[in-house]
Amino acid sequence: MTPPHTPFRSFILKVANRCNIDCDYCYVFNSQDQAWRTLPARMSVDVARAAASRIAEHTARYDLPSVHVVLHGGEPLLAGPRHLEEILGALRERISPHAEVRFELQTNGTLISPAWLDLFEQYDVAVGVSLDGPPSANDRHRLTHASRSSAASAVRGVELLRSRPHLFAGLLAVVDLTNDPVEVHDYLASFEPPTIDFGLPHGTHDEPPHRNDLALPEYGLWMVRVYDAWLARPQYRHSVRMLEDIVALSSGVHSAVESLGLAPPTSVVIESDGSIEGVDTLRSVEEGASWLGLDVYNESLDEAIHHPKLLHRQHGKSALAEECQSCPLVEVCGGGYLPHRFSAAGGYRNPSVYCADLEYLIRHIQDSLRQHDWKLGAPAP
C-alpha cells in the first residue's frame, strides 16, 4: 500500500552553523530566530551518519530511486575539507545502497580552492554560489564581518569553479530594488552559469520588504526587466529558475521550487545537532517557527511528514487564504512562499507580501508566451 503523504526527496544538511561573511538579510544569523547561537558550529560525523540512516530508511519506505542531499549552512566550507569528506563518505555509504544520491553544496564562494574542487570532483558535488551582482550590487548586503567587500573573493571562487564547469550548479542572487536588474542579470550571465536563481528578500506582513513606492509592484517590475533581458539575449543559455517555473506552471507542469505552485514541498532540513526542521527560512518569521521538536536519533523522517507544523504542506489550495483560493493565478503562484504569507494576527492564511508583484510578473510572462503562440488558454480575468 502506498503511504498517504508525499515523501521528502531533498534533504538539506546544515553542515556548518557559522559564516565568514555577514549578509544583513541572512535568515540564519540576522533574523528573528537566533537558534544558531546554541547549535554546534559544524555537524559531527556521528550526526551525519544518523541523518544518512534516516534518509536511507525514508528512501526504502517510499521506494525512491534517487534523493538530493544539499550541504548548507552558514557557510558549509567552514566545516573544512577533511571533515566534509568524512561527512560525504558517511552519507554515500549509508544512502547509496538504497537510492542514487545526488550531492549539491551552496556556498558564498569566498573559500573555494583547487583542493575543494578535487573533493567535489571525488563525490560529484554540484556547487551553487551566492552572488548578488557586480561588486557595487553585491556589497550592498554581502560584506565581511569587518564591513569589507566580499565580492573579489566570491568572484575568484566562481572563476575557479568555472574551470570545472560540470561542477557548477549556478548562481543565487537576492533582489535589491536599488540595483539595476538588467545589469545584475547580464553580469551574472557573463559567468556562464547553467542556472541563475533570483530570490525575493524575506519579509512578512508585520515586517514587510522595503519598497520605494507602495502603490507599485516594484519587485514584479524588477523581475519583468530580468525576464525581458533574458529573452533578448540568445547568446546566453542559462535558465532563470523563477521565470522558468512560472512558464512551466503556466503550461500545467509542476514547479521545481517551493516558492511557486501548489505541489507539496518535498524538502526537509537537518540541523548541525541532528534536529529536524521544516522550512528553515521560517526563521525570518519568528523565534522557533521552523522547529519541530524532532531529531534524527529519536524520530523517523516520516514523523516529520506527519508533524502538525508540516501537514499544511500537503493541503495545497485549501491551506491558503480565501482570496488566494479563488484567484485565477493560484495554480502558478501557489499563494506565494510560506514565510512571506505570515502575520501575527492571521498566521499563514494571508496572501503573500509579494502578491501584487507575483501577479504582475506572472501576467507579463503569460502575455509574452501567448505572443509566441504558446498554448496557455484564455487570459485570466
**Overall average pLDDT of the 166-192 stretch:** 97
Q: What is the pLDDT of residue 2?
A: 41
- The span from the CA of 57 to the CA of 275, in Å, is 17
Percent of the chain's residues with pLDDT above 70 = 94
pLDDT at site 291 = 86
Instruction: State residue 294 phi and psi, 5-degree precision.
Output: -120, 160
Domains of the chain, first to last: 10-314 (3.20.20.70), 316-371 (no CATH)
What average pLDDT is seen over the chain?
91
Place of cell 519506505: 61
Between the alpha carbon of residue 5 and those of residues 30, 264, 276, 330, the distances in Å are 34, 9, 18, 22
Tell me the pTM: 0.92
Mean pLDDT of the region 362-378: 77
Q: What is the pLDDT of residues 313-351, one digit of tens each?
A: 666 788 899 999 999 999 999 999 999 999 999 899 999
CA distance 262 to 241: 17
Encode burial over 201-221: b for 16+ CB neighbours within 10 A, e otherwise.
bbbbbeeebeeeeeeebbbbb
Quickly tell me which residue has 507580501 as its cell: 353
- Are 244 and 223 in contact by the 8 Å Cβ rule? The answer is no
Instruction: Return the HEC string of 236-263.
Output: CCCEEHHHHHHHHHHCCCCCCCCCCCCC
The pLDDT score that the predictor gives to residue 256 is 65
CA dihedral 150, 153, 154, 155 (to 10 degrees): 120
Q: Give mean pLDDT, residues 295-308.
A: 92
Report pLDDT for 282. Answer: 82
pLDDT of residue 3: 45
Say yes or no to pLDDT of 374 above 70.
Answer: no
**pLDDT at position 307, please?**
86
Percent of the chain clearing pLDDT 90 (strictly above): 77
The pLDDT of residue 70: 97
How do residues 50-75 score in pLDDT, each as one tens digit?
A: 999 999 999 999 999 999 999 999 99
How confident is the model at residue 363, as a pLDDT? 97
Among 98-112, 280-294, 334-348, name the most confident range: 98-112
Spatial CB neighbours of 164, under 8 Å, sequence gap ≥ 6: 117, 120, 121
Report residue 98 as a C-alpha cell.
538504497
Residue range 220-242, pLDDT digits in tens = 999 999 999 999 988 888 999 99
- How many helices and strands (H and E) does the chain possess? 13, 12
**Residues paired with 69 in a beta bridge:** 11, 103
Question: How many Cβ atoms sit within 10 Å of the Cβ of residue 372?
Answer: 7
Cell triple for residue 45? 560525523
Q: How far apart are CA 12 and CA 83, in angstroms?
A: 17
Query: Looking at residues 82-100, what average pLDDT do you find?
Result: 97
Can you give the pLDDT at residue 255? Answer: 65
At 129-143, the pLDDT tens digits run: 999 999 999 999 999
Give the C-alpha separation, 68 to 261, whole Å.
20
**In this model, does residue 379 exceed pLDDT 70?**
no
User: How does pLDDT run across 17-61, given as a tens digit for each residue?
Assistant: 999 999 999 888 888 888 878 899 999 999 999 999 999 999 999
Average pLDDT over residues 298-321: 83
The whole-angstrom separation of Cα 321 and Cα 344 is 15
Q: What is the pLDDT of residue 1?
A: 35
For 16-55, letters b (16+ CB in 10 Å) and e give: bbbbbbbbebbbbbebbbebbeebbebbbeebbbbbbbbb
Looking at residue 282, its amino acid is: L
